[in-house]
């Protein structure tokens, strides 16, 4: 019984250490950390750029469209982040950003969830790194 408990404790500690090492690059990435500490003006400009990309790529009600990251029509503020992937739809803007981590991290601009419904008035900008989803800006749209 004692040996089994010791094995479980060692396995749990090893899992935590491996998970920490796996997720650490996202959390220490200068780009990820920098995005979480921009000015309100930068967030406002960035989300306006996201809205312009959404408007220029109309799609169906629930469809998302991939946008080439080399598209010259992308606003400079978006291109400056050097995204790996961009998807847009009527319900939001999403991009996967350059990162040295295993899975990268995302930046999304979409309607805020209120319980089980999405608000169409309040939109949120949030970063997502692995399972860490953080709202960094919100605005009435």
Nearest residue to 98 (alpha-carbon basis) of 87, 106, 90, 108: 106
What are the average pLDDT values for consecutive 10-residue runs of the chain, which has 141 residues?
73 63 48 71 95 87 86 94 91 81 78 71 86 86 79
Cα–Cα distance for residue pair 56/77, rounded to 1 Å = 16
3-state DSSP assignment of residue 104: coil
pLDDT at 32: 56
Nearest to 128 by CA among 21, 35, 19: 35
What's the pLDDT score for residue 75?
97
pLDDT reported for residue 52? 95
d(CA 21, CA 61): 40
Q: What pLDDT is stored for residue 27 in this prediction?
A: 47
Cα distances (Å, whole numbers) of residue 95 to 6, 56, 72, 85: 43, 16, 16, 5
What pLDDT sits at residue 76?
96
Q: Percentage of residues in the chain with pLDDT exceeding 70?
A: 71
Q: How far is CA 40 from the centre of its chain?
A: 17
pLDDT at res. 26: 46
pLDDT at 31: 54
Residue 139 has a pLDDT of 92
Structure confidence at residue 30 (pLDDT): 47
């Amino acid at each position: 019984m004692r040996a089994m408990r010791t094995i479980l404790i060692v396995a749990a500690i090893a899992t935590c250490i491996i998970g920490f090492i796996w997720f650490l690059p996202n959390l220490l990435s200068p780009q990820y950390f920098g995005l979480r500490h921009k000015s309100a003006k930068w967030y406002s400009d960035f989300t306006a750029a996201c809205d312009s990309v959404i408007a220029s790529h109309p799609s169906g009600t629930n469809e998302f469209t991939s946008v080439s990251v080399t598209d010259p029509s992308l606003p400079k503020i978006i291109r400056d982040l050097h995204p790996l992937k961009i998807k847009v739809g009527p319900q939001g803007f999403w991009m996967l950003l350059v990162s040295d981590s295993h899975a990268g991290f995302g930046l999304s601009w979409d309607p805020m969830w209120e319980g089980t419904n999405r608000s169409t008035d309040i939109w949120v900008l949030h970063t997502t790194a692995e399972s860490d989803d953080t709202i960094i800006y919100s605005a009435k749209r």
